[in-house]
Structure 1
Amino acid sequence: MPGPLGRLHDRISRVSFQVAQLGLVVITASYAWEVVARYFFAAPTSWSNEVAAYALCISVCLALPEVTRARGHIAIDFLLNALRGRAYRVAQVGLALMSGAVCLIIAAICLRANLLQIERAEMLVRVNPIPKVLISIWLTYAFFSAGLHFLRHAADPNGRAEVGLF
């Protein structure tokens, strides 16, 4: 059993995945509304394409931690599978540590960019401008949470029990 922080992290990842699924509903609804408004009422919207693009970005970011938690991420592991015994376990832990470190570095870079966007009041200049940080902050969340999951995988490379750093 994972510790309380590990269970909380898993719960947050699962909930964010469910919210990501709602993002697909938002995308579908915004395009459906656009079709109806454009072709039946001759009144195209100025916002539906932007909502769909933003919802897609946010949904992908919200889904990433759960996919990583469930070890569903893409892995080209033919070399790893050629190893046996201790060499396999060492390589598996090393890859999880490296993946976690890369994700956490990316999260730190994203966080720095988020802070600069807030400081500079940067906007996404489209038809309907919004603060850039409202979209980019989800990248920070995704990579930070995925990085923690990878580090937890390193602590439990076989995935039999969800124990880890927390």
Structure 2
Amino acid sequence: MKLLLTVHDGISRAGFILGCMALGAIVCIYAFEVISRYAFGAPTIWASDFVSFLLLISVFATAPWLTREGGHVAVTIVPDLLPAVRDLVLRVGFLMAAGVCLWASWICFEENIYLYNRGTSTLTTVRIPKWILSAFITYGLLNTGLYFLRLTFGASPKETQNG
């Protein structure tokens, strides 16, 4: 089991690095677009499309690692007001979050297959198969759901959460 969790962490760490690289590419593309548009009067036709694609990749590639690190959005007013059952409340919340993420990843997976089978492309200047982008959504939701399961059944939430 430990090996499986280590592999999961490694895949998620690689996704985090990919997401960070996507953010760096967004900065470079925007800088190029600004210089191209205002210094040379020659705006690109592709920059906006690639920024959109890369933004989606950055969000869903980094989400699992951020969840692992406790960087996900957490509203903890109820657990903070109920210190006697704080761990239980947090674990129930993690379990609910896992259920939602895993359910949504299943829906996205089915959509990936549908998009692939239909050969659907984006409606942008730069056309790419939509399934490639939706695969990142599936990856992010699935692995985030798995981390929420790990938080539900793993170490004490006090050890993994700020608060």
TM-score, normalised to structure 1, is 0.89
- Written as runs of structure 1 = structure 2, the 5 A alignment for 1:80-159 is 80-85=79-84, 87-159=85-157
C-alpha distance in 2 between matches for 1:27 and 1:88: 40
Aligned-partner Cα distance in 2 for 1:159–1:15: 25
Please give the root-mean-square deviation of Cα atoms over the aligned residues, in Å.
1.8
Q: Which one has more relative contact order, counting CA pairs under 8 Å at least 6 apart?
A: 1
Alpha-carbon distance change, 136 to 117 in structure 1, aligned in 2, over 3 angstroms: same
8 Å Cα contact 1:93/1:157 also seen in 2: no
> Aligned-pair distance for 1:84?
2.8
Q: How does 1:7-18 map to 2 (within 5 A)?
A: 7-18=6-17
Q: Alpha-carbon deviation of 1:147?
A: 0.4
Q: Is the 8 A contact 2:87 2:157 kept in 1?
A: no
Extract structure 1 runs of 4+ deviating beyond 3 A. 159-162
Identical amino acids, percent of aligned pairs:
32
Q: Tell me by how many angstroms 1:39 deviates.
A: 2.5
Letter in 2 for 1:106: A
SS of residue in 1 equivalent to 2:124: coil
Structure 1 contact 92–157 (Cα < 8 Å) conserved: no
Give the whole-Å Cα distance in 1 for the aligned partners of 2:65 and 2:97: 15
**Aligned amino acid, residue 124 of structure 1:** T
Matched to 2:66, the amino acid is V
Q: Report the AA paired with residue 25 of structure 1.
A: G
Relative to 1, partners in 2 of residues 1:80 and 1:161: Cα closer, same or farther, differing over 3 Å?
A: closer
Deviations 1:6-62 (A, max 9, x none): 111112212211111111111111111112222333322111111111111100111
Paired AA for residue 98 in structure 1? M
Alignment gaps of 5+ in structure 2:
none
TM-score (norm. length: structure 2): 0.90
Map of 1:59 onto structure 2:
58
Cα distance in 1 for partners of 2:22, 2:141 equals 19
- Any unmatched runs of 5+ in structure 1? none
**C-alpha spacing 1:154/1:13, structure 2 compared with 1 (3 Å):** same
Instruction: Tell me the equivalent position of 1:26.
Output: 25
Give the superposition deviation at 1:144. Answer: 0.2
3-state SS in 1 of match to 2:90: helix
